């Protein structure tokens, strides 16, 4: 799916972008709740993982959670190529 296409379908479209760069747990939970309703969540998460987005909530996950996925994927690739 092209980047522009999925962004047009985003549940966060028109919502204050700073909510997705939360300063506290409550804001993060609000952002994640919106992501939970988003029909392009997988595309968003794939984009964030591919580009190494260093901040914010993307695809319903914060940066720590995305790093965990990236690490597990790279570990899996190492296993496949071993």
Sites of contact with ligand SF4 (CB under 6 A)? 10-12, 20, 34-35, 38, 40-41, 44, 57-60
* Smallest separation, CB 39 to ligand SF4 (Å): 8
Minimum CB distance to ligand SF4 smaller for 22 or for 59? 59
Minimum distance, C-beta of residue 33 to ligand SF4, in the bound complex (Å): 9
> How far apart (Å, rounded) are the C-alpha atoms in residues 15 and 68?
27
Distance in angstroms (rounded) separating the CA atoms of residues 38 and 32: 10
Give min distance, CB of 79 to ligand SF4, in A. Answer: 29
Closest CA to 2 of 56, 40, 49, 59: 40
């Amino acid at each position: 799916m092209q980047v522009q296409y999925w962004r047009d379908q985003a549940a966060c479209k028109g919502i204050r972008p700073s909510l997705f760069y939360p300063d506290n747990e409550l804001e993060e939970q609000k952002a994640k709740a919106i992501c939970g309703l988003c029909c392009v969540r997988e595309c968003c998460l794939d984009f964030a993982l591919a580009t190494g987005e260093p901040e914010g909530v993307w695809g319903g996950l914060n940066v720590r959670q995305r790093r965990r996925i990236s690490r597990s994927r790279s570990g899996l690739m190492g296993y496949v190529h071993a």
